[in-house]
Amino acid sequence: MKKITVLLMLVAFSVADVATLQAEEPVWQKGNIHTHTFWSDGNDFPEMIASWYKQKGYDFLALTDHNILSKGEKWMPVAQLKSRGGADVIDKYLKAYGDEWVVTRGEAEKQEIRLRTLEEFRKGLEQDEEFLLIQSEEISDRSQGVPVHMNATNIQEVIAPLGGATVREAMTNNLRAVAEQARRTGKPIVLHLNHPNFGYAVTAEDLAAVVQERFVEIYNGHPGVNVLGDDDHASVEKIWDIANTIRLVQLAAPPLFGIGTDDSHHYHGRGTSRPGRSWIMVRCDDLEPDAITTKISQGDFYSSSGVTLKDVVYNAKKQQLALTVDAEEGVSYTTRFIGTRKTVDLSSKQKKAANGKLVTRIYSDDVGAVLATVKGTNPVYKFTGDELYVRAVVTSTKAHVDPTLPNQTEQAWTQPVGWAVTPRRGR
């Protein structure tokens, strides 16, 4: 969308200026990659949901139903649709899409509606450089009595959850299946671990150990996923820092990138898992599934629950991380640069939750410490050379539009930078 403006500006500049200008004006594509519809446990038709996101100015959307793609023939009883989406859910659908679009069969209480497929509804919604739908699935697995959910962005064929004796095994098995499909189809797929604290399912140690996984949800708008943890459990952001530190210190493995999503289920009625709470901004010129997925896989994105960044620049030569906040009037911004130093003591204590289950262990506060706090719209962090990695969290004074956390204000999270994977000796 912003691309048009940039291209028009480019005409007036010489070739030498082009690179500078492009560097100054990155194109960010806004998207949500965790969304549920009637195809599984959401409470509206997929095309109704997609048009909501489109109208709100999102550039792309992945519909991610549980263990199913919006593909093939699926009929649903009208009574069931109404009990989930409300008495007027069909009327709203008819009003938006008309009689000819809504396919029914049967009469009276036996009446059913066929859910339209992605192939069918994407035609009326997608627009070049304006709006894109990416085929996706929430691979919804279970192991050791807890949910292991992983979102496969840009998947081409449905993957049934593979299970495993442990959470780590289940994650590994699903990652392997996705990697195999990506190789076979030649299409990039990003498989990210969802809501680690939903059912307190995945510990920081699990997340660290499964090094093939490179992505984790660090904010999820579903109110039931324990983003902040509790007395027994670390917050999701802390889990992210612990896992990244373990990887860099002990496993010679790269850190995870943090993803913000909606995990929306409820689009009307009193449901609490609503859209519009968190998204990712991907630095990508092309609004096209493979390009977006590739940029995500490279970590060229940030996550947001409201704060917009004009730019995020890690300059390895200058040894600095600089952000430019797209400031709103009357709002102030504070950036915390969070990271772990190489001198960290990674010893930890075992912890058991009240129910006796093993949870993320207790580490020193130096793991994922606040290394600097900077106010204003152009925060810069200068590396001292002893950091394992540094990431930034921008917090604004503006109240979140639809909060799930106490006193929540808008935020943005950038990815860990300045890290290097040092191979372990003897490997």
Tell me which residues touch Zn ion (CB under 5 A): 138, 149, 194, 263
Nearer to Zn ion, 195 or 214 (CB): 195
Strands 60-63, 28-32: pairing kind: parallel
Minimum CB distance to Zn ion, residue 278 (Å): 13
Is residue 246 within 8 A of residue 235, CB to CB? The reply is: no
Tokens found for residue 209: 């150990």
Contacts of 377-381 with C-beta under 8 Å, sequence gap 24+, read 377/324, 377/325, 377/327, 377/333, 378/322, 378/323, 378/324, 378/325, 379/322, 379/323, 379/325, 379/333, 379/335, 379/337, 380/320, 380/321, 380/322, 380/323, 381/320, 381/321, 381/322, 381/337
Minimum CB distance to Zn ion, residue 193 (Å): 10
Minimum CB distance to Zn ion, residue 261 (Å): 8
| CA–CA gap between residue 375 and residue 273 (Å, rounded) | 32
Nearer to Zn ion, 168 or 391 (CB): 168
Query: Dihedrals φ, ψ of 233, to 5°?
Result: -125, 140
Q: Tell how far CA 47 is from the center of its chain.
A: 21
Nearer to Zn ion, 149 or 192 (CB): 149
Nearer to Zn ion, 213 or 263 (CB): 263
| CA–CA gap between residue 163 and residue 286 (Å, rounded) | 36
Nearer to Zn ion, 63 or 312 (CB): 63
Minimum CB distance to Zn ion, residue 165 (Å): 21
Minimum CB distance to Zn ion, residue 33 (Å): 10
Nearer to Zn ion, 262 or 387 (CB): 262
Minimum CB distance to Zn ion, residue 218 (Å): 15
Nearest position to Zn ion, beta carbon: 149
